């Protein structure tokens, strides 16, 4: 596989992920550009073509935190225009619920939804175990369900007054 082909096939989704991390289009462009430069330099050492996608996502993630001067993930917001709400709730309601999730839950969920990665791939990218990743994904979905349900209940109570 040529590097140009790799970039061409993943550039849009890398930008989407960088945008989710940075929440700013210009910063996301910078992150992707720097990440691709690092990837180009390391491309000759990439041994397994099947691992290229997760390798690129990891570089984007690391580059974002390097450029932002942070070493640990902070709570982020998933861009709901890029993903479908799990139970088709209005986007603003889901956005509010996502904003309350800790990064430990939000980040694996974004990698699974935006990147289409398996639990094993996410575990490698986040430096955790597959079991811990599965737990975080389950807890993230449970928390979203609870938050959305609580919002629905509050809305029903408010509508009766």
Give the Cα separation of 126 and 128 in Å (integer).
6
Same domain, 96 and 155: yes
Element (H, E) at 117: none
pLDDT at residue 94, rounded to an integer: 63
pLDDT: is 25 or 110 the higher one?
A: 25
Kindly indicate the confidence band of residue 98, based on its pLDDT and cuts at 50, 70 and 90: low
Please spell the DSSP secondary structure of 52-111, one letter per residue.
HHHHHHHHHHHHHHHHHT-SS-------TTSS--TT---HHHHHHHHHTS-HHHHHHHHH
What is d(CA 137, CA 92) in angstroms, rounded to the nearest whole number?
21
**CATH number of domain containing 65:** 1.10.1740.10
pLDDT for the residue 30? 94
The predicted structure's pLDDT at residue 160? 55
Domain boundary at 20, 38, 71, which?
71
pTM: 0.60
Numbers of helices and strands, H then E, in the chain:
7, 0
Give the mean pLDDT of 91-116: 76
Do 9 and 64 share a domain, yes or no? Answer: yes
Query: Which of the two residues, 85 and 15, has the higher pLDDT score?
Result: 15
- Asked whether residue 6 falls in the same domain as residue 37, the answer is yes
CB 125 within 8 A of CB 82: no
Into how many domains does the chain fold?
2
Whether 85 and 67 map to the same domain: the answer is no
- pLDDT (mean) for 110-137: 89
Residues 13 and 44 in one domain: yes
Confidence of residue 99 (pLDDT cuts 50, 70, 90): low
* Same domain, yes or no: 7 and 60: yes
Is 158 found in the same domain as 93?
yes
């Amino acid at each position: 596989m040529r590097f140009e082909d790799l970039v061409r096939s993943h550039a849009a989704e890398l930008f989407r992920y960088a945008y989710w991390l940075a929440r700013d289009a210009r910063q996301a462009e910078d992150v992707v550009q720097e990440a691709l430069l690092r990837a180009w330099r390391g491309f000759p050492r990439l041994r397994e073509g099947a691992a290229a996608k997760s390798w690129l996502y990891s570089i984007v993630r690391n580059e974002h935190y390097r450029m932002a001067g942070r070493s640990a993930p902070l709570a982020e917001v998933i861009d709901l225009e890029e993903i479908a709400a799990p139970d088709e709730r209005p986007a603003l309601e889901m956005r509010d619920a996502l904003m309350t999730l800790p990064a430990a839950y939000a980040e694996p969920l974004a990698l699974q939804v935006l990147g289409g990665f398996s639990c094993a791939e996410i575990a490698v990218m986040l430096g955790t175990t597959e079991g811990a990743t599965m737990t975080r994904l389950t807890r993230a979905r449970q928390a979203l369900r609870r938050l959305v349900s609580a919002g629905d209940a509050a809305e029903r109570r408010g509508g009766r007054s």
